[in-house]
């Protein structure tokens, strides 16, 4: 399948998903392929059709790896259990208005009192050892993981042995990092911190149970960490900004790009669309979305100028996507991988506060096993991969985005894996891939050496 598209400055290009190539073409060829819906066989002009065939363009559709292929390739990769995510507690000291655990999203857990016990933690270790699965990185998740300090410390001290985990990380709201003893422990063990910080809109969304904003407190804590432990702050503290339809993107970019606290960082953005309508009415959300789309477009159009300037928010929006296109394999594998990142239960595991095991923290609705029983029942892992394979093999081969799309199990209803949700994401995915291609060719046309230096970093 071929996607004809234009760069942001109007030059015609093609992306051929079969060969993974991007080609600068004439306006005539671009027009012919657009009229033929991206199919060489649909081009009416025989001369243009022949020129396409001679240039190696064709209509073929690659096959999709089977669940078994995926399992084998993940096993052969030798990656082992690269990531273990531990949901230490459901409790949280905040009540963020967009939090899926806040009680407004049907079917999701709430901030109840469940916390992982030391006994469960010991069992997790025993069972992983019995399976010879030593995770390379361990990530603490919640609620707010710092609220279960004893278990967090137990895992760090026990895994922090020869042959144990290489890295620890934590998703945190950051407010409890004001305890100097705990902070020293985290610094000593080089625990990576992924701090949630939304920028100027922070106080509207990230609030205490009594509704107070938390930005000033968080900035104070971060300033203290940076002053007391400058190396740790620069190497081990990262940020995630949650973007809701109410987020003012231009102000948010200004906030992160101009404050010294974020110099040298890349701000990862996490987009929340408020499906439960907890943040505003449908009309309000739609109005905010169209304002936000216009702001996003302004940031995208300025990225060819801003790439390379080390702007934390702009790089967070675009850089990884640009690198994924730049580093795409040519020629590509003959089949499309079923899921680019993992086979359920093999490369990643999420264990929640009550000992339920799922493939990751974003697939909480598909249980693979249980602490104290089997951590991952092979038939459940197979069922998950097969259900996903059904949708992918039915819909992805004729889609131009199949080599650049971010698809994974987690996107489909947090593991519920229903076809309607799978398909509902596709238009957005295709639009995102197309926009990234437009941006990529624009940057590369202006700066042929773009993304070379990142190859050595990423
Ligand atoms: S800090 Fe995280 S877990 Fe706590 S309320 Fe906010 S989003 Fe939810
Ligand atoms: S956009 Fe949808 S159909 Fe296309 S590759 Fe992605 S998941 Fe498949």
pLDDT score for 58: 85
Q: Look at residue 78 and tell me whether its pLDDT is greater than 80.
A: no
- On whether residue 266 sits in a domain, the answer given is no
CB 189 within 8 A of CB 182: no
- On whether residue 107 sits in a domain, the answer given is no
CA distance 146 to 148: 5
pLDDT score for 281: 86
CB 256 within 8 A of CB 262: yes
CB 255 within 8 A of CB 200: yes
- On whether residue 98 sits in a domain, the answer given is no
Indicate the average pLDDT of the chain: 92
- On whether residue 18 sits in a domain, the answer given is yes
- On whether residue 115 sits in a domain, the answer given is no
Give 23: exposed, middle or buried? Use CB within 10 Å, 0-12, 13-18, 19+.
Answer: middle
User: Residue 399: nearest ligand to its CA?
Assistant: 2
- On whether residue 376 sits in a domain, the answer given is no
Angle between helix axes 312-326 and 249-258 (nearest 10 degrees) is: 100
Q: Ligand 1 pocket, 142 CB below 6 A?
A: yes
- On whether residue 34 sits in a domain, the answer given is yes
Would you tell me how many other CB atoms lie within 10 Å of the CB of residue 95? Answer: 16
- On whether residue 17 sits in a domain, the answer given is yes
CB 441 within 8 A of CB 11: yes
Q: Ligand 1 pocket, 143 CB below 6 A?
A: yes
Q: Domain count of the chain?
A: 1
Q: Which numbered atom of ligand 1 lies nearest the CA of 94? A: 5
The tens digit of pLDDT for each residue in 230-269 reads 999 999 999 999 999 999 999 999 999 999 999 999 999 9
Distance of CA 272 from the midpoint of ligand 1 (Å): 13
- Residue span of the structural domain in which 45 resides: 1-60
> pTM value?
0.92
Q: Ligand 2 pocket, 202 CB below 6 A?
A: no
User: Residue 427: nearest ligand to its CA?
Assistant: 2
């Amino acid at each position: 399948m071929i996607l004809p598209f234009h760069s942001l400055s109007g030059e015609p290009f093609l992306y051929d998903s079969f060969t993974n190539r991007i080609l600068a073409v004439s306006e005539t060829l671009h027009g012919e392929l657009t009229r033929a819906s991206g199919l060489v066989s649909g081009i009416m002009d025989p001369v243009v059709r022949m020129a396409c065939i001679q240039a190696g363009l064709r209509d073929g559709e690659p096959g999709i790896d089977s669940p078994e292929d995926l399992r084998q390739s993940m096993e052969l990769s030798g990656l082992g259990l690269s990531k273990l995510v531990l949901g230490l507690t459901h409790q949280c000291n905040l009540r963020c208005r967009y939090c899926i655990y806040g009680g407004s999203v049907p079917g999701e857990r709430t901030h109840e009192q469940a916390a992982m016990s030391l006994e469960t933690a010991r069992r997790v270790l025993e069972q992983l050892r019995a399976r010879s699965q030593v995770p390379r990185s361990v990530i603490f998740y919640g609620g707010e993981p710092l609220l279960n300090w004893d278990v967090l410390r137990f895992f760090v001290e026990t895994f922090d042995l020869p042959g144990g985990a290489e890295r620890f990380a934590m998703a945190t709201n950051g407010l409890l990092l004001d305890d100097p003893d705990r902070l020293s422990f985290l610094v000593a063990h080089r625990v990576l911190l992924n701090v949630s910080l939304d920028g100027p809109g922070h106080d509207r969304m990230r609030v205490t149970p009594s509704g107070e904003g938390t930005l000033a407190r968080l900035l104070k804590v971060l300033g203290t960490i940076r002053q007391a432990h400058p190396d740790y702050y620069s190497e081990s503290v990262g940020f995630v900004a949650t973007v809701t339809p109410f987020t003012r993107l231009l102000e948010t970019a200004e906030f992160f790009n101009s404050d010294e606290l974020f110099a040298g960082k890349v701000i990862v953005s996490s987009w929340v669309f408020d499906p439960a309508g907890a943040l505003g009415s449908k009309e309000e959300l739609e109005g905010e979305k169209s304002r936000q789309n216009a702001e996003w477009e302004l940031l995208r159009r300025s990225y060819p100028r801003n790439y390379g300037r080390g702007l934390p928010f702009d790089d967070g929006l675009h850089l990884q996507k640009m690198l994924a296109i730049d580093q795409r394999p040519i020629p590509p594998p003959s089949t499309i991988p079923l899921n680019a990142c993992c086979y359920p239960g093999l490369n990643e595991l999420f264990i929640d506060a009550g000992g339920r095991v799922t493939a990751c923290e974003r697939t909480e609705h598909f249980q693979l096993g249980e602490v104290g029983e089997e951590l991952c029942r092979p038939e459940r892992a197979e069922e998950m991969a097969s259900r996903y394979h059904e949708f992918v093999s039915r819909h992805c081969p004729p889609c131009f985005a199949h080599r650049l799309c971010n698809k994974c199990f987690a996107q489909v209803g947090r593991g519920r894996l229903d076809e309607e949700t799978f398909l509902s994401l596709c238009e957005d995915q295709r639009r995102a891939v197309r926009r990234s291609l437009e941006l990529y060719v624009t940057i590369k046309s202006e700066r042929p050496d773009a993304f070379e230096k990142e190859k050595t970093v990423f």
